Amino acid sequence: MARIQLVTDVSQWGLMNWPARTRRRLQICTLVATVATVASAVGSAYFILEVSSSVLVNMALITANMFLMLVAAFLQAVFIGDLFFAGPWRERVFLGERPPADDDALDFTTVNDHNGEFIALIIVAILVNAVGLHFATGGFFQEYHDEGFFHVQMRSSNADQREAALVSISDPNNNRLWEREGLRDLIVDALEDEDPGVRRRAAFTAGSLQVLRARESLRERAREDGDVDVRAEAAFTLGKLGRDVASLEVLMELLDPEEPSEVRLGGLRGLAQMRDPRAVEAVVEQIDDEDREVMAYAFWALARIGSSEPREEVRAVIEEEPPGFRRCAAMEGYKLVAAAEDAMWARRQFQNADPEARCEGVTFEELDERIHYVVYGESERVKWLKTVGNTDPYEHRRWLRRLLADPEEEVHVRDVAAEILRQMDP
């Protein structure tokens, strides 16, 4: 079996012998290699950051530049050794030349091989070249790692690659990059992408990174985009970006019954995220909608807004509606719009509720797989219990403890009672 052995004798390397045959040739080759390395690095940096749309091409260019830098560093080390190492070091040690055997004027002078020093020179030359190229290219490697790579992907003709770039940007593991202005500009530009999947992902990413400058473009996408999913995502993102009068007006416009159901749901999601009490009246108008999803989302949005202003309207639905989906949706909203004085009424409803009456769950999933519960799939009794816990739990502490201690009570009710008590006494 062959053994791997590290060769430290410079004379046995046999590298770059032709450029080192004469000092003048060595000088010219070293200068050419150095200039070529700098020019290639600067040109490649510009091409990769501003023009290229292929990650593979970029990798090949970076590899080629690294190889060219190593060649230049090696020649620089040989040139320095030729200048400063005593005796005919280049000829005798590096090139391994020996005087002819019949030469009457044999030179028996010992020439120090300087193997260790030469290897150290190569390492230093590599480090100096790397640092020099870093500054010459404006910090290319850091710029490419932090931002340029995503710009390259976004220039790709493949929509999947463009979308993948936006997915990577919004990854929480990359949150240290989220304040970079170039990436934020890239996200705003992606809202105008020709592919609807990319536009939708850009809208989601704008919300993840809180890109406030994207509001104007998002309002346009929510109103006019040709894809209903993009419109819905843009509306949802407008809500994530916080309260804004212009965005609030757009979201309320999207609740128009003439709009597609997906867009109306996006508008309600956005209003739920924005949590602006000024939207209550517009949302209340949706609680009687014939579309069961729009109706359920309206109650959920009222709960998220958290204003007690619509409590009477929501309570009226609960009192008038027979057990079923709409009543469950109203109860879901009532949990967070009810006031302290409603806690006793909620207790009475809890006692009178049918233990077998359960609600159908409604959820939706974001692009990052985060799940939102519009209506929890649980019993009506649990919803009434949560209403007490959200309104005036301290006044009903003893009742909650009795529920927790009752072995005949259903497990979910006891678990919720325990959680409410735990939050009261952390």
66-117 pLDDT, tens digit each? 888 888 888 888 888 888 887 677 776 677 666 555 555 545 455 576 778 8
**Which structure tokens are listed for 50?**
């501003």
Place of tokens 């040989």: 78
CA-angle at 299, arms to 297 and 301, nearest 5°: 65
Asked whether residue 387 is domain-assigned, the answer is no
For 20, the domain range is 10-95+114-142
Per-residue pLDDT band for 7 (boundaries 50, 70, 90) equals very low
What's this model's pTM, rounded to 2 decimal places?
0.76
Question: Is residue 123 assigned to a domain?
Answer: yes
Residue 249: which pLDDT band, with cuts at 50, 70 and 90? very high
Residue 225 lies in a domain: no
* 331 vs 371: CA distance, rounded Å: 20
Q: Give 426's pLDDT tier (boundaries 50, 70, 90).
A: low
- Is 244 within the bounds of a domain? no
pLDDT digits (tens, 9 = 90+) for 206-216: 999 999 999 99
**Residue 106, pLDDT score:** 47
- Identify the pLDDT of residue 32: 92
Q: Is residue 223 classed exposed, middle or buried when 0-12, 13-18 and 19+ CB atoms within 10 A define those classes?
A: middle
Produce one character per residue of 123-156: b if its CB has 16 or more CB atoms within 10 Å, e if not.
eebbeebeeebeebbeebeebbebbbbbbbbbeb
- Region of 97 (left: φ > 0; alpha: ψ -120 to 50; beta: rest) is beta
CB 178 within 8 A of CB 209: yes
Model pLDDT, residue 420: 93
Kindly state the tokens that stand for 300.
């959920």
Sign of the Cα pseudo-torsion (170, 184, 166, 305, in order): positive
136-154 average pLDDT score: 76
9 band by pLDDT with thresholds 50, 70 and 90: low
- Mean pLDDT for 19-35 is 86
- Tally the domains of the chain: 1
Q: How far apart are alpha carbons 196 and 194 in whole angstroms?
A: 7
- Residue 149's pLDDT band (cuts 50, 70, 90): confident
Smallest Cα–Cα separation from 359: which of 386, 338, 337? Answer: 386
Residue 25 CA to residue 217 CA, distance in Å, equals 61
Mean pLDDT value across residues 151-165: 89
Q: Which position has the token pair 């936006």?
A: 166
Q: What is the pLDDT of residues 312-368, one digit of tens each?
A: 999 999 999 999 999 999 999 999 999 999 999 999 999 999 988 999 999 999 999
Residues contacting 318, CB < 8 A, separation 6+: 327, 330, 331, 334, 349
pLDDT at residue 365, as a whole number: 95
In this prediction, residue 5 carries a pLDDT of 42
In a domain, 336, yes or no: no
pLDDT of 372:
96
Question: CA–CA separation, 174 vs 144, rounded Å?
Answer: 14
Average pLDDT, the chain: 87
**51, part of any domain:** yes
Q: Residue 247: what pLDDT?
A: 97
Rg (CA), the chain: 36
Q: Output 142 or 123, whichever has higher pLDDT.
A: 123
Question: What is the pLDDT, as a whole number, of residue 4?
Answer: 45
* Tokens describing residue 326: 């709409």
* Residue 6 pLDDT greater than 60, yes or no: no
pLDDT (0 to 100) of residue 373? 96
Q: Does residue 90 form part of some domain?
A: yes
pLDDT tens for each residue of 188-237: 999 999 999 999 999 999 999 999 999 999 999 999 999 999 999 999 99
Q: How far is CA 169 from CA 83, 198, 209, in A?
A: 51, 13, 9
Nearest to 218, CA basis, from 277, 258, 270: 270
Percentage of the chain surpassing pLDDT 90?
A: 59
pLDDT at 3 over 90: no
Which of 258, 291, 283 has the alpha carbon at shortest distance from 362? 291
Average pLDDT over residues 271-284: 96
Residue 2 has pLDDT above 80, yes or no: no
| CA dist list (Å): 52 to 56, 138, 155, 255 | 10, 18, 7, 43
Q: How far apart are CA 208 and CA 425, in angstroms?
A: 34
Give bridge partners of residue 363 from the DSSP assignment: 373
Q: How far is CA 262 from CA 156, 200, 231, 256, in A?
A: 30, 13, 8, 12
Closest by alpha carbon to 353, among 389, 390, 376, 379? 379
399 in a structural domain: no
Higher pLDDT, 290 or 178: 290
For 283, list phi and psi in degrees, rounded to 5: -75, -40
